[in-house]
Amino acid sequence: MQGLREMLWARNLNAGAKPGRIATPRERSAMADQATAAFLGLAIGDALGATVEFMTPREIRQEFGVHCEIVGGGWLRLKPGQVTDDTTMSLALGEAILAEGRVDARAAAEAFDAWMRAKPVDIGNTVRRNLITYRKTGNPEAPASEHDAGNGAAMRILPVALATLGQGREVLATACRAQGHVTHHNILSDAACIALAGMVQDFVRGKSVEDVERANAAPLVAVHPVFDYTVKPRDNPSGFVVETIQAVLQALFATETFEDCVVDVVNRGGDADTTGAIAGMLAGARYGLDAIPVRWLRRLDRGVAESCRLQAEALLTLSAKGPAPERIRGD
């Protein structure tokens, strides 16, 4: 890890800096810390939430009181610290981005296809259907569908956010659509992916929570009012990306620690591994590594934790090489 970090500094990386200004080592080190916390937060939220996936808040209260320990189980009968598709698809995507040196739809489709062949513990219906279509057609862009508004593309957006850090909103949006459309070619999914990735980037660049909300969540709701998360509490969020985002943003903006945010969202039940993963990603980016409870870090599957750390650093390094928009395919 130390070697990678020194490499990051030595290359005078400028992701996150204003144009014409190189990020200082202190800024680089803060960004690497928050990017790593985002990836570990994603995996921790997934591992914690999976225990109560598809339960209602009332059922969770009856069984756990407040669910706040990584104990495995759930309908997938996981080992404590084991993660699900939210984390493993993110890692598969991150690996493809690093291998290609850019966000590439075909490389992402191949990576997801290989991931599906390896028999993951869980897989979304839309992901499965459109990967099977990809096998037949070879087209890494799924057909557009107003029904494919699940959270399956949003839950794996993190490596795209890190790989395009500091490269501008246009590059970010293009890359989000390229990876998202492999399985979810849908306007609400796109909007959610772009907002989430923008939030991660802004947190990693040190923006305040108020600024992050104003620059990402507010425009999302302005363009697609269905996402409005301020009206009523979203309990039991389904896999519909709108409900997922509402639960996550409510938990993120109503709490002031990593732990409170993730505990809040998974105790809402429903698609709790995915809301946990997305909330953990945002809270990790917001609060940094020191804010993640050590008892959760210790429980997380060791191989997964190591992959999260390595990918976070390597994706930041890649982002500093600058955009390659002409080489982003599939948009």
Please state, as a whole number, how many other Cβ atoms lie within 10 Å of the Cβ of residue 101: 13
Task: Give, as ranges, the residues between 168 and 227 that touch Mn ion (CB under 5 A).
Answer: none
Q: How far is the CB of 89 from Mn ion (least distance, A)?
A: 9
**In a 10 Å sphere around its CB, with 0-12 CB exposed, 13-18 middle and 19+ buried, how is residue 127 labelled?**
buried
Nearest approach in angstroms of CB 270 to Mn ion is 9
One of 33, 86, 95, 190 touching Mn ion (CB under 5 A):
86
Residue from 110, 202, 264, 271 binding Mn ion (CB under 5 A): 271
Using CB under 5 A as the binding rule, whether residue 14 contacts Mn ion is answered as: no
Q: Does 243 bind Mn ion (CB under 5 A)?
A: no
Q: Of 52-81, which residues contact Mn ion (CB under 5 A)?
A: none
Interface region with Mn ion, contact rule CB under 5 A, candidates 68-76, 86-94, 190-198, 314-322: 86-94
Report the alpha-carbon distance of residue 132 to residue 129 in Å, rounded: 5
Q: Which of 321, 305, 328 minimizes the C-alpha distance to 36? A: 305
150 beta partners:
240
Q: Taking CB under 5 A as the criterion, which residues in 105-134 touch Mn ion?
A: 122
Q: Which is nearer to Mn ion, 80 or 325 (CB)?
A: 80
Question: Which H, E and C letters describe 116-145, residue by residue?
Answer: HHCCCCCCCHHHHHHHHHHHHHCCCCCCCC
- Cα distances from 35 to residues 42, 54, 69, 75, 304, in angstroms, run 11, 29, 23, 30, 15
Site membership for Mn ion, residue 274 (CB under 5 A)? yes
Q: Does 317 bind Mn ion (CB under 5 A)?
A: no
Q: How far is CA 150 from the centre of its chain?
A: 14
The residue within the footprint of Mn ion, chosen from 14, 34, 51, 84 (CB under 5 A), is 84
The amino acid at residue 163 is A
Total residues at the site for Mn ion (CB under 5 A)? 7
* 301: contact with Mn ion by CB under 5 A: no
Residue nearest to Mn ion (CB): 84
Q: How far is the CB of 265 from Mn ion (least distance, A)?
A: 12
Site for Mn ion contains 164 (CB under 5 A): no
Find, among 225, 161, 150, the residue nearest to 196 by Cα.
161
Does the protein bind Mn ion through residue 141 (CB under 5 A)?
no
CA end-to-end distance (rounded Å), the chain: 34
Minimum CB–partner distance for residue 123 and Mn ion (Å): 8
Q: Does 88 bind Mn ion (CB under 5 A)?
A: no
Query: Which tokens hold the place of 175?
Result: 């890359």
Q: Summarize as ranges the residues that interact with Mn ion (CB under 5 A).
A: 84-86, 122, 271, 273-274
